[in-house]
A and B are shown apart, each in its own frame.
Chain A
Amino acid sequence: MSETLIYDYTMPGGHHWSFRMRRGTRLRLTDLEGGANAALLFYNPENLLERYNAPDTLKGQHTFKLTRGNCLYSDMGRCFASVIEDSFGWHDTVCGNLSADACLKKYGEHSYQAFRNGWFLSGEASFLTELAKYGLTERDMAANLNLFSKVYTDEAGNLAYDPSASKPGAQVVLRFDMDTLVLMHTCPHPLNPASAYPRHPVKVEFLTGPAMTEDDYCLNFRPENRRALENTRLYYLDPAISPTVAYQNP
């Protein structure tokens, strides 16, 4: 069984959205022009207290960057999604969002009243808006992913954003290993040095695809991933929780 495209949408830069991914389905994101930032947060729709956990994801895989092979862990020892393809190579999950205040200071006033959909929206306001739709608040806003944004450190721990990492056509594919509520925005990364509000579209595609097999790259990338995916399998042992069978016991 190969991948089948079931939906596609080009999300403009500087906007927000939320949607649910069924386990076994894939999310393919493409930075069409270069310079995009795709910020994501994950929640378990059956228990919104279970959410993406950046520190567990990083320390569990002994990495500061995210790329192909990495699993994106929940705070309950499970795997929301696996990065099964990635042509970008170094995604950030420690810099959070540009706040509304910082957005105003950095890019100036660009209100909805004056600019309609061309307003300057912050990532923080975007996530707060989407969180509210599920009864969630700023208390539930965890550290997010910033896909297509590379942030690295020097020996002293100083952070730097690498604008040269941006590549038009860069693509990431996430395979969802759990049913997942996805919050997404395409607002600028907080460390993006561009002087004008960067507004770059991200192509969003939903695909179905084959179930994970024993030779799966993410499953075998690190022993921790195998255990997180085993915890995920355990969660779905009760067919009443979810009738979909997208993951077989390796």
Chain B
Amino acid sequence: MIRESQRQMLAAHFRQVIPAGDYFIHKIRAGDTFRILDLEGNQAADTLFYNADDPAERYSAVDTVRENGNVYLTAGTLLMSNRGNPMLEIVADTCGRHDTLGGACASESNTVRYALDKRCMHSCRDSWMLAINRHEEFGLSKRDITHNINFFMNVPVTAEGGLTFEDGISGAGKYVELEAKMDITVLISNCPQLNNPCNGYNPTPIEVAVWSQ
């Protein structure tokens, strides 16, 4: 569902551009609004959320799809934690649909999905591994790297139970905006995937912005 936001980027109290292949880890406070902006279009932002005070509570893809009764995320979707608590609500979305089934690319899964010699291509899970080791203060380890959201990614499920990867439905300047229901740690890998159309075979930067209450 397309729902635009009235917020102005110039009024944000925090802004950062994340180049493709980089990670982003940051705390946002309950009540803050967090935007991810697809600067050039067709980019996938592989995102995990944690309760900032207790990372054992985290975004749960299975609780989210089950409780919302839908496999796609869009404006109005409540992102649920593994403890059944709403963590964030998607309050604006100019893309219309985001994936939470497909997970994130990894060096290891690249060997399975594409070719055994793709092991040394950069991947989202490698970005997360570096992020959690470079930022021990967030208290995260590999066990916390779970089933994520792919903002701007289009992974339709068919009536026959198929799962297809489609060219993105995002475009330059499209964004998704989330309101935090608790203090949140955000961990993003801006996807470096070169092997499938999740980012049009051309990984590009995203920008994040935060507005305080």
Question: Count the A residues whose beta carbon is within 8 Å of the partner chain — how many?
Answer: 47
- Is A164's beta carbon under 8 Å from chain B? no
Task: Name the contact of A153 in the complex, choosing from B61, B83, B143, B157 (C-beta under 8 A).
Answer: B157
The CA of A71 and the CA of B32, in the complex, are separated in Å by 42
- Is B213's beta carbon under 8 Å from chain A? no
Given A55-B104, A56-B103, A143-B147 contact (CB < 8 Å): yes
Q: Nearest chain B CB to A41's CB is how many angstroms away?
A: 12
The CA of A204 and the CA of B169, in the complex, are separated in Å by 45
**Which of B20-28, B108-116, B130-138 contacts the other chain?**
B108-116
Contact B163 A159 (CB under 8 A): no
- Is A191's beta carbon under 8 Å from chain B? yes
Q: Which residues of A contact B53 (CB under 8 A)?
A: none
Q: Nearest chain A CB to B64's CB is how many angstroms away?
A: 9
Which residues of A112-148 are within 8 A (CB) of B? 137-143
Q: Which residues of B contact A153 (CB under 8 A)?
A: 70-71, 157, 159
Contact B62 A96 (CB under 8 A): yes
The CA of A64 and the CA of B157, in the complex, are separated in Å by 7
- Is B12's beta carbon under 8 Å from chain A? no
- Is B106's beta carbon under 8 Å from chain A? yes
Interface residue ranges, A against B (CB under 8 Å) = 49, 53-56, 58-60, 62-65, 73, 75-78, 90, 94-97, 99, 101-102, 137-143, 152-159, 190-191, 224, 227-228, 230-231
Interface residue ranges, B against A (CB under 8 Å) = 55-56, 58, 60-63, 65-66, 69-72, 82-84, 97, 101-104, 106-113, 115-116, 125, 142-144, 146-148, 155, 157-159, 161-165
